[in-house]
Copies of this chain bind each other. A is one copy, B any other.
Amino acid sequence: MSDLHDHHPYAPSRIRALPSWLLGRAAARGHRLVAEALAAEGMRMMHHAVLSAVAELGPVSQADLGRTLSIDPKDMVAIVNDLQRDGLVTRTPDPKDRRKNAVEISADGERRLRRTQKLGDEANAELTAALTGAEREQLIDLLTRIALPQ
């Protein structure tokens, strides 16, 4: 088994039993897995999230996107810039409210989204590989209730 010098990497520090710590570690691993998977399509997590939200919401303003995904307006500008540059979304001035940009997914964007959604789902399957289906459902339920405020 383990040799003499294998001082286990963890003391059962009090820290490690705190939900906030475990959430941080689990989130870091999830982020790493998803980011690595999406990199195969040259996409990043936030870009994929925005593209997915645009596909669901139809023509939508950047501010609405930011609210639904809790993304800072500043970051949203850069993300939509990238997606537009790559031809995945269109950004047209909203005639009804000239302050707004109507962001809409393109045909290329839908094709890209289908691939990145598959990659994201696979990464999440790997993330929760140690869980049964029922446990995965319960984890989602518990997290939803914890993450809600803001």
> B144, A22: Cβ atoms under 8 Å?
yes
Give the interface residue-count category, chain A.
35 or more
Residues of B within 8 A of A14 (CB): 52, 56, 117
B29 and A150 within 8 A (CB): yes
A residues near B (Cβ < 8 Å) are: 7, 9-11, 13-15, 17-31, 33-34, 45, 48-49, 52-53, 56-57, 64, 67-70, 117, 120-121, 123-124, 127-128, 130-131, 135-136, 138-140, 142-150
Answer whether A26 and B23 are a contact pair too, CB < 8 Å, given A53-B11, A131-B142, A146-B127: yes
Q: Smallest CB–CB gap between A113 and chain B, Å?
A: 10
Q: Chain B residues near A143: list those with CB within 8 A.
A: 19, 22-23, 25-26, 139
In the bound complex, residues from chain B placing their C-beta under 8 Å from that of A23 are: 23, 26-27, 30, 143
What residues of B have a CB within 8 angstroms of the CB of A139 in the complex? 19, 139, 142-143, 146
Report chain B residues within 8 Å CB of A69.
13, 15
Of chain B, the residue at the smallest CB distance from A25 is B147
CB distance from A96 to the nearest CB of B (A): 12
